[in-house]
Chain A
Amino acid sequence: MTWRRLFRPAAVALAAQPILSIVCGFAVAGLAVLASGADPVQAFSALFQGAFTNPRAFTETMIATLPYIFLGLAVALGFKAGLFNIGAEGQFYLGAVFGVFIGYSVQGLPGIVHVPLALLAGMLGGFLWAAIPGIIKARTGAHEVIITIMLNYVAFQLTDFLINNRGPLADKTSSAPRTPFIQHAAQLPILIPGTRLHAGLFVALVAIPVVWFLLSRTTVGFQIRTVGLNPSAARAAGISVGWTLVITMGISGALAGLAGADEVLGVSHFMPPSFSTGYGFDSIAVALLAKSNPWAILPAAFLFGAMRNGATFMQLQTQVSADLISIVQATVIIFIAAPAIIRWIFRLRHTPAAPVQLAKTDGGATI
């Protein structure tokens, strides 16, 4: 994508709404800070310091951005097929479990083989976990939102079972419930010495064009988008809607699993209980903010990474709760989902665009 294309009037109009939604999100959060008796200017400048200007803040922001990129892509891909994958969190767990298992159990491989192998294992874990709701939906018409939510809890309990003190993946030498550390060869190399920024950054930066290519240049992507836009027409044209749903869920899960494996191999190097802290759920907001455009996932994920990373410092510095960023995230999504409000506030002209579609009722159960 060239710069000129990026700044076409159409592209600017498309980006205006998410950007203005972010502005409004911060404005509402600022009011909340005021209401709690603190100074919003102080709070937001502390948030900015914590995210960017403190020592090592920028690389930590990048580290927090990485899972959002993979998971945002995962959720966005689901949206393209009209699927609402709320199960990214659970698929993230399964990816981490598969990744950490290959990471510590396989020995004697060089890093150049071991790292990709463990990442692929993570993708496989996510793929399989997400294919389950795909198959159930395709076979029975059950709504993926329900099944993926339920499978999240199964995933949490399953990992707890696997890594608790007596679990099959537990480190028997440790008193804390956790898996063994992965082999040194399985670690994603550190990019900047003295920081935690790891080579997973490159994996994430490759994942974006790959997903874009998949969606816009391949037959599979065309099938996914066709099913998402009009399942009846897809069926009448001979496209197997069921198979497309399964494969979409699978690929979406593979991306989420990649996030989990990337986190294990790059940051923690082992898997503790309660591994993710809501990355998978936040990513629904990332995908919505990016309007499911793979390229737009990058800035959206970066925003969420920065907020997550800066929040702790803000709380330390100003006593404003780190939960403030949840207010920002929530209001941003409300404004994204209700474009009419943004148009009204900023007096924008109405350019009829495809609405943000959360879930499609295609004869299956609806909620």
Chain B
Amino acid sequence: MDLAIEWDQVHALLGENGAGKTTLMNVAYGLVRPDSGTILVDGNPVVIHGPQDAIRLGIGMVHQHFMLIPPLTVAENVILGHETVRAGGFVDQRAAEREVRDLSQRYGLEVDPRARIEGLPVGIQQRVEILKSLYRGARILILDEPTAVLTPLEVADTITVMRRGKVEATTRPSETNPAGLARLMVGRPVLLRVDKAPARPQRPVLELDHLVVHDDRRRVAVDGVALSVHAGEIVGIAGVEGNGQNELAEAIAGLRPDRGGRVLLDGQDVTRATTRHVLHGGLGFIPADRHRMGLVLEHSVSDNLVLSTFDRAPFARWIIRRFEAVLEYAQRLIKQFDIRAESPSQPAGSLSGGNQQKVVAARELGRQPRALLASQPTRGLDVGSIEFIHRQIVDQRDAGLAVLLISSELDEILSLADRVAVMYRGRIVAILEGDAIDRERIGLLMAGAA
């Protein structure tokens, strides 16, 4: 495997899950020792024994699963290990916050240095990770699965596609297109646009009536959102992460107290209902963070498939669980959703990311909900799994499901949504339909420029 990265270049490394991207980058960051071969920085051979060596060489890495300490603030996380210590062993908080603020302004990575990590959406946490690397003097930045609004074609100067541990091709954005890249990654032609018939919307199923939601720091995060999702249509919420989408999703699912407005599910007021009530009232919920909220990784696949129905018939009689019923149901869903598991009793954490997400999707769609709230349903997944989950969502739409899709991947919104609502700073700034759905226009609206 040969790879050369030039200064002042964004080099995208593409490949399916398991192609070896993360391993390769872990080698560069000193987390994995190469069996053979050399690494050169500025033409000089270097030996990287650990992250400390990498940092000294100016190599910074943002991991797929962030290495942040949730109860600490942004500033504390950034300076961790490189604190300015005042007399008496106290960390100079004020200086840290100032430095982090300067740094974030210099690079245009807007973030509040005093915010606690645990209350921040994933997109902002990623900015913090990048700031952390920059703070440590990174000259070479490795981003593992950054998955933001940016696609390789938009940002990369050079693209290297990996497959099964080898370089498949190195190309430039001007010389290729998404379908071509996908073909290189998977080794076969891939359907990028989801094939779907025009929507035939029916009665409204999920209605948001001037919903106001506060974030963990009690600031208004969702500011009077009014939106209705009809049976048989997919409404996409586009927006840069951190514009209130998470709070909106959590409020609908009953995980966050709503401060104003109403949520109607199938005509029923569920504004103050518990999550349990909302889920059993007909909402399917795919949370944005599948490791934290979607799955219990230590539980078996079958237990995860009944995570919200385990205490109902036929999966339980009084308080006794009925494992035959659970197993039978799990086997059916595993087949239907093409979950690649050795057995239903395998821990969910041992599945690949794509299959984990299929478990979440299978659980939520398997309950036959009337509305689906899908938040970042394909984040960090390989092309094959994305294709599959998109197919499922469209098929269920055709069967009369009302879908509210929240995604920061514009491509996902464009290929799935029948109507697009653009969210910016807690508000829906536009709802586009039909021919008005236009990539440039949505991009401008997302940036708050329209």
Contact = CB atoms under 8 A, between A and B. Distances in A.
Interface of A: 217-220, 222-223, 225-226, 229-230, 232-240, 354, 361, 363, 366
A219 B297 contact: no
Contacts of A237: 275, 279, 307-308
Give the secondary structure class of A's interface: helix
B287 interface: yes
Contacts of B321: 217-219, 222
Contact of A222 (B287, B293, B303): B303
B292 interface: yes
Contacts of B285: 236
Nearest to A226: B296
A220 B308 CA distance: 13
Contacts of A232: 292-293
Contact of B319 (A218, A229, A238, A239): A218
A361 B118 CA distance: 12
Contacts of A234: 296, 307
Given A222-B303, A366-B71, A238 B298 contact: no
Given A218-B319, A219-B316, A361-B71, A233 B275 contact: no
Nearest to A217: B321
Nearest to B216: A363
A236 B287 contact: yes
B310 A219 contact: yes
A240 B297 CA distance: 19
Contacts of B316: 219
A227 to B, nearest CB: 10
Given A223-B310, A230-B292, A236-B253, 12 more contacts: A218-B320, A219-B310, A226-B296, A229-B296, A232-B292, A233-B294, A234-B307, A236-B275, A236-B294, A237-B308, A238-B277, A354-B298
Contacts of B319: 218-220
Interface of B: 71, 118, 253, 255, 274-280, 285, 287, 292-299, 303, 307-308, 310-311, 316, 319-321
Residue from A218, A219, A237, A361 with most neighbouring chain B CB atoms (10 Å): A237
19 contacts: A218-B319, A219-B321, A226-B296, A226-B307, A229-B296, A230-B295, A233-B292, A233-B293, A234-B296, A234-B307, A236-B294, A237-B307, A237-B308, A238-B274, A238-B277, A238-B280, A240-B274, A240-B276, A363-B118
A229 B299 contact: yes
B299 A238 contact: no
A235 B275 contact: yes
A297 B435 CA distance: 67
Contacts of A239: 276, 308
Nearest to A236: B293
A229 B295 CA distance: 10
Given A218-B319, A218-B320, A219-B316, A235 B255 contact: yes
A245 to B, nearest CB: 16
A220 B319 CA distance: 7
Interface pairs A-B: 5 shortest CB-CB: A238-B276, A219-B311, A237-B308, A237-B307, A236-B293
Contacts of B277: 238
Nearest to B118: A363
Nearest to A219: B311
Given A218-B319, A238-B274, A361-B71, A233 B311 contact: no
Contacts of A363: 118
A225 B310 CA distance: 13
B47 to A, nearest CB: 25
A181 B298 CA distance: 50
B275 A238 contact: yes
A217 B320 contact: yes
Nearest to A227: B296
B193 to A, nearest CB: 31
A293 to B, nearest CB: 15
A225 B274 CA distance: 21
Contacts of A240: 274, 276
Contacts of A230: 292, 295-298
B410 to A, nearest CB: 26
Contacts of B279: 237-238
Contacts of B253: 236
A236 B283 CA distance: 12
Residue from B118, B276, B296, B299 with most neighbouring chain A CB atoms (10 Å): B296
A38 B249 CA distance: 68
A219 B280 CA distance: 17
A304 B327 CA distance: 40
Given A233-B293, A236-B293, A222 B310 contact: yes
B171 to A, nearest CB: 39
B307 A233 contact: yes
A229 B71 CA distance: 19
A233 to B, nearest CB: 5
B65 to A, nearest CB: 15
Contact of B308 (A225, A238, A366): A238
A240 B307 CA distance: 12
A194 to B, nearest CB: 43
B206 to A, nearest CB: 17
A238 to B, nearest CB: 3
B255 A236 contact: yes
A238 B319 CA distance: 17
Contacts of A233: 292-296, 307
Given A219-B319, A222-B321, A240-B276, A229 B308 contact: no
Nearest to A214: B319
Contacts of B311: 219, 222-223
